[in-house]
């Protein structure tokens, strides 16, 4: 990363007494031992590089300065016993959220972070985005429908820019956050973000399939009762009068169990699903005849596609 710091604006800071680590940022970005050893070796050989000073913000209450960028360099300087180091004081009046955002942006653009660190950064930035959105809304209750979705898209773009990642990466992280188990595995480093996202999609697809299957079984049993008064029997394209047993006992005929091929039943439901509300209303007015027509049409379509007769069909209409 190119460094654009003007060294003429630097001052000298005294370690330990004046300069302290910003605790939230220190916890967010644990020091990478490999990088630390590299910086330590370079600092021991060439001293503290003024092109990369500690960036701090004044903590007026405690009368000291909090380091929000350069924590690894500060630790190396302390280990080498350096008393004074180059410091750049941020002149902007930033609140806690703004400092955190700035630190994340600097770190993300300087070097790639692990998935677990990026994941936690996204979570922190989502909290900031939500806080900013709430502040913008204030007490208003006249926001249009779909505002939440728009805010979500804006948040994705805002976070992607700060952490130097794609919006798709941010969307995947947000999807994982809905699953506490996968979330914990990403934070612990047990799973990469990509692997966790694939598991979340697999679980989501499985749940969708289970729901569809449950709904299908509830309304689409292979063996069911007709629930329609018997006048005629439709079977494999031929019409015949009802049996004497059914005529003698209309109630039995009405509740008679039938066997319907699953593919045929799905085709019937598909036909019904393609109809307009007006057409369905017409069906409701004259259900037996309408059902008769639809079943005949679907039967013809199934026969044409499969080039085989529909078996085990006996539907009362």
Question: Quick one: average pLDDT of 226-240?
Answer: 40
Q: At what angle do helices 180-187 and 167-176 cross, to 10 degrees?
A: 120
Residue bearing the bigger pLDDT, 74 or 256: 74
Helix (H) or strand (E) holding 143: none
| CA quadruple 172, 177, 183, 189: dihedral sign | positive
Question: Quick one: average pLDDT of 164-169?
Answer: 94
Residue 230 resides in a domain: yes
Q: Look at 42-51, 211-220, 295-304 and tell me which has the smallest mean pLDDT.
A: 211-220
Q: Which residues share a beta bridge with 257?
A: 225
The percentage of the chain sitting over the pLDDT mark of 70, rounded to a whole number, equals 55
Task: Count the domains in the chain.
Answer: 3
Angstrom distance (rounded) from CA 59 to CA 94: 11
Q: Same domain, yes or no, for 247 and 195?
A: no
Categorize the per-residue pLDDT at 152 as very low, low, confident or very high, splitting at 50, 70 and 90: low
Q: Same domain, yes or no, for 308 and 240?
A: yes
Categorize the per-residue pLDDT at 117 as very low, low, confident or very high, splitting at 50, 70 and 90: very high
The pLDDT of residue 263 is: 66
Instruction: Kindly state the DSSP code that residue 275 receives in the 8-state scheme.
Output: S
Q: Same domain, yes or no, for 193 and 254?
A: no
Q: What is the 3 state secondary structure string of 161-224? A: HHHCCCHHHHHHHHHHCCCHHHHHHHHCCCCCHHHHHHHHHHHHHHHHHHHHHHHHHHHCCCEE
Confidence check: pLDDT of 230 > 70: no
Categorize the per-residue pLDDT at 166 as very low, low, confident or very high, splitting at 50, 70 and 90: very high
Tell me if residue 128 falls in helix, strand or coil: helix
Residue 2 resides in a domain: no
Q: Same domain, yes or no, for 87 and 120?
A: no
CB 54 within 8 A of CB 88: yes
CB 106 within 8 A of CB 69: yes
Q: Same domain, yes or no, for 234 and 275?
A: yes
Residue 210 resides in a domain: no
Residue 1 resides in a domain: no
Residue 120 resides in a domain: yes
CA distances from 297 to 220, 267, 291, 301 (A): 19, 10, 10, 6
Query: Which of 58, 59, 85, 65 minimizes the C-alpha distance to 73?
Result: 85
End-to-end C-alpha distance for the chain, whole angstroms? 76
The pLDDT of residue 127 is: 92
Q: Same domain, yes or no, for 86 and 31?
A: yes
Q: What angle do CA 130, 195, 116 make, to 5 degrees?
A: 50
Q: Same domain, yes or no, for 162 and 243?
A: no
> What domain range includes position 239?
223-316
Residue bearing the bigger pLDDT, 274 or 242: 274
Q: Same domain, yes or no, for 251 and 295?
A: yes
CA distances from 64 to 76, 142, 161, 271 (A): 20, 45, 31, 74
Q: Name the token pair of 178.
A: 């809905």
CA distances from 251 to 225, 228, 246, 247 (A): 11, 10, 8, 9
Query: Which of 165, 171, 168 minimizes the C-alpha distance to 152?
Result: 171
Residue 282 resides in a domain: yes
Residue 102 resides in a domain: no
Q: Same domain, yes or no, for 166 and 92?
A: no
Residue 209 resides in a domain: no
CB 229 within 8 A of CB 242: no
Q: Same domain, yes or no, for 242 and 162?
A: no
């Amino acid at each position: 990363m190119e460094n654009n710091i003007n060294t003429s604006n630097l001052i000298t800071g005294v370690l330990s007494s004046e300069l302290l680590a910003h605790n939230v940022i220190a916890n967010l970005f644990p020091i990478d031992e490999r990088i630390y050893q590299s910086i330590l070796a370079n600092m021991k050989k060439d001293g503290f590089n003024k092109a990369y000073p500690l960036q701090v913000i004044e903590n007026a209450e405690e009368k000291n300065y909090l380091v929000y960028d350069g924590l690894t360099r500060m630790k190396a300087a302390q280990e080498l016993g350096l008393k004074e180091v180059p410091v750049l004081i941020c002149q902007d009046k930033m609140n806690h959220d703004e400092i955190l955002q700035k630190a994340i942006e600097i770190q993300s653009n300087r070097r790639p972070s692990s998935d677990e660190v990026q994941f936690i950064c996204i979570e922190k930035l989502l909290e900031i985005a939500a806080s900013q959105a709430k502040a913008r809304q204030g007490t208003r209750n006249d926001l249009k429908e779909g505002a939440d979705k728009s805010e979500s898209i804006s948040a994705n773009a805002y976070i992607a820019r700060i952490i130097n990642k794609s919006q798709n990466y941010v969307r995947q992280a947000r999807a994982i956050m809905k699953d506490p188990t996968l979330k914990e595995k990403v934070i612990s480093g047990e799973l990469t973000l990509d692997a966790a996202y694939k598991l979340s999609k697999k679980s989501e697809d499985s749940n969708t399939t289970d729901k569809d299957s449950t709904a299908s079984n509830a309304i689409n049993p292979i063996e069911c009762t007709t629930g329609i008064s018997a006048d005629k029997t439709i079977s494999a394209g031929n019409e015949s009068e009802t049996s004497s047993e059914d005529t003698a006992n209309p109630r039995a005929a009405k509740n008679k169990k039938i066997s319907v091929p699953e593919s045929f039943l799905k085709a019937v439901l598909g036909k019904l699903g393609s109809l307009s509300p007006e057409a369905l209303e017409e069906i409701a007015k004259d259900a037996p005849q309408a059902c008769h027509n639809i079943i005949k049409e679907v039967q013809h379509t199934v026969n044409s596609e499969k080039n085989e007769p529909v078996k085990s069909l006996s539907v009362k209409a």
